[in-house]
Amino acid sequence: MELDALKTLWKEQQEAVQEEIKPIEAAQLLALLRQRSHSVVAKIKRNLLGEVILSLAIGVLFLAFIPSLSNTTLQITLTSFIVFFCSATSMVYLYFWRWIKSNYDLSDNLRAATQRLIFCMERAIKISLYCNMVLIPLGTTLGGLYGYALGGKPIDLYSNVSFTVTMVLILLFSILMAYPLHRLYINKLYRKHLKHLKAVLEEMN
Amino acid sequence: MRSEQEFLQKLNEVQGILWKICHLYCPEAVDKQDLFQEILVQLWRAYPKFRGEAKFSTWVYRIGLNVAISFLRKEKRKPSLVDLPKEVYEMAAPEVDEEKEERKKLLYWAIRQLKTIEKAIVLLYLEEKSYEEIAQIVGITQNNLRVRISRIKEKLRKLMLQPIDS
């Protein structure tokens, strides 16, 4: 059967279906708008928001422990440090959120929209990588530092050798762990999808 | 921003397009319903930017196909709670002769075997869109499109000659 012959068959089928279709009401549309979107862009935005909330929650948790530290200088240093990193992370995510909103256009042709979507996903992965590579080691080391301080042990990088060694080991371990953890997270979120989109783009090329 | 009523009026005129896209890209009823809803939502969100430079139906095809291509299909997902009329996402089965019905099933089955972009091209082709319009929607040259259509024809011909079970 030739493709042109299928046009008649297609037309007949569509005419039959068209008669069955009922108009969509305003109330149905409003109900739909309240539903969670399954689009990949919505997923990227949700994940970014989740990461911001998690970073801020960890930041707040660390800040909550600050008063229990005995050293005032340490309190001030850590507070500034945490506030700086929380703000920087939020700014990066917020910037990307706005960027993705203004850059992704579904009314583009299929090739352009797919290219842009791949670009958006790859950029989201990069941003997530940079943030995780900084935040995971920092958070872990800070946690170690807190544990040390709350245990009543003196915090002095220069005179307390065991403290210095422990901190360096925690930092190294968390740096080593950050990348595989990030890969695991990204693979779970986007790998299948990115692969599919790249295959589609390749098909178009 | 233009009104909701205006959007719905225009949308209802071309609602069949959404159904066709969903039917080709999602064989499962749950996915089909989700895709239908997703396209509707994205159309509504994009509508303020619609300037009427292209035909409304062309614009709907672009958004619908873009959403279908990037749509996330999950292995197990609960059906959505919004109750749309089932006719908009379920294939209607009007009473016709068996031979025709078989041919229709075979046609859908064969189109579903095609690659993602091939499905889009064949849909637009069967909708009797011009080569220029198809090329614009997909984002390829007309020459490239001609080559692809000839390949798709060959592919479909082969597919429709073999039994579905194989």
Query: Can you give the CATH number for the domain in which B143 is found?
Result: 1.10.10.10
Same domain, yes or no: B39 and B113:
no
What mean pLDDT do residues B40-66 have?
A: 86
Is residue B118 located within the same domain as residue B60? no
Interface of A with B in 70-109 (CB under 8 A): 105-109
Residue with tokens 């016709």: B96
Mean pLDDT of A15-19: 68
Q: Taking 80 as the threshold, does the pLDDT of residue A101 lie above it?
A: no
More confident residue, A178 or A24: A178
**CB B43 within 8 Å of CB A24:** no
Q: What is the pLDDT of residues A115-153, one digit of tens each?
A: 988 888 888 888 888 888 888 888 888 888 877 777 776
**Rounded Cα gap, residues B77 and B80, in angstroms:** 9
Asked whether residue A157 is domain-assigned, the answer is: yes
Same domain, B81 and B2: yes
**Closest Cα in chain B, distance from residue A128 (Å):** 21
Same domain, residue pair B76 and B64: yes
> In chain B, which ranges are continuous DSSP H helix?
4-13, 15-25, 29-46, 56-70, 98-112, 116-126, 131-138, 142-161
Lowest mean pLDDT among A6-10, A51-55, B157-161: A6-10
- Picking from B71, B92, B113, the residue at the C-terminal end of a domain is B92
Please give the pLDDT value at position A124. Answer: 82
Nearest by CB to residue B153, choosing from A3, A18, A108, is A3
Same domain, B68 and B127: no
pLDDT band, very low/low/confident/very high, at B88 (cuts 50, 70, 90): very low
Q: Chain B closest CA to A57's CA: distance in Å?
A: 29
State yes or no: pLDDT of B83 exceeds 70. no
Mean pLDDT of chain A: 81
Task: Give pLDDT, residue A19.
Answer: 67
* Distances from the Cα of B155 to the Cα of A133, A161, B8, B110, B128, angstroms: 48, 72, 38, 9, 19
The pLDDT score that the predictor gives to residue B121 is: 92
- Asked whether residue B134 falls in the same domain as residue B86, the answer is no
Query: Is residue A126 in some structural domain?
Result: yes
Nearest by CB to B46, from A21, A40, A106: name it: A106
CB contact under 8 A, A204 and B140: yes
By residue range, what is the domain housing residue B114?
Answer: 94-166
Of B37, B139, B157, the CB nearest to A112: B139
> Which candidate, B47, B13, B36, places its Cα nearest to that of B84?
B36
Question: B104: pLDDT confidence band, cut at 50, 70 and 90?
Answer: confident
The CATH number of residue B36's host domain is 1.10.1740.10
Region A144-168: what's the mean pLDDT?
A: 76
Task: Output the pLDDT for position B87.
Answer: 47
Report yes or no: B149 and B129 within 8 Å, Cβ to Cβ.
no
Instruction: Give the whole-angstrom CA distance, residue A24 versus residue A28.
Output: 7
State whether B82 and B20 are in the same domain: yes
What residues contact B121, with CB distance under 8 A and at least 6 apart? B134, B138, B145, B148, B149, B152
A106–B62 C-beta distance less than 8 A: yes
Residues 47-106 of B with CB under 8 A from A: 49-50, 59, 62-63, 65-67, 69-72, 80-85, 87-88, 91-92, 94, 96, 100, 103-104
Is residue A81 included in any domain, yes or no?
yes
| Of B94 and B142, more confident | B142
Is position A83 within any domain? yes
* Distance (Å, whole) CA A97 – CA A201: 24
How far, rounded to the nearest angstrom, does the alpha carbon of residue B113 sit from its chain's CA centroid? 14
In a domain, A189, yes or no: yes
* Domain range for A96: 35-204
Task: Give CA–CA dist B78/A14, Å, rounded.
Answer: 29
The yes-or-no verdict on residue B81 having pLDDT over 50 is no
Interface A–B counts its CB contacts (< 8 A) at 166
B110 and B76 assigned to the same domain: no
- For chain A, how many structural domains are there in total? 1
Euclidean distance between CA atoms B47 and B52, whole angstroms: 10
For residues B18 and B78, state if they share a domain: yes
Q: B17, B38, B66, B77: best mutation site toward chain A, by most A Cβ within 10 Å? A: B66
Do B82 and B103 lie in one domain? The reply is no
Residue of B nearest to A202 (CA): B117
Residue A193 within any structural domain of the chain:
yes
Which residue from A minimizes the CA distance to B89? Answer: A21
B123 plus B80 within the same structural domain: no
Smallest Cβ distance to B137: which of A110, A199, A203? A110
Whether A5 has its CB under 8 Å from any CB of chain B: the answer is: no
Distance from CA of B62 to the nearest CA of A (A): 6
Is the confidence at residue B139, as pLDDT, over 70? yes
**Is some CB atom of chain B closer than 8 A to the CB atom of A200?**
yes
Q: Is the pLDDT of residue A1 over 70?
A: no
pLDDT value of position B89:
45
Q: Between B98 and A106, name the one with better pLDDT.
A: A106
- In a domain? residue A1: no
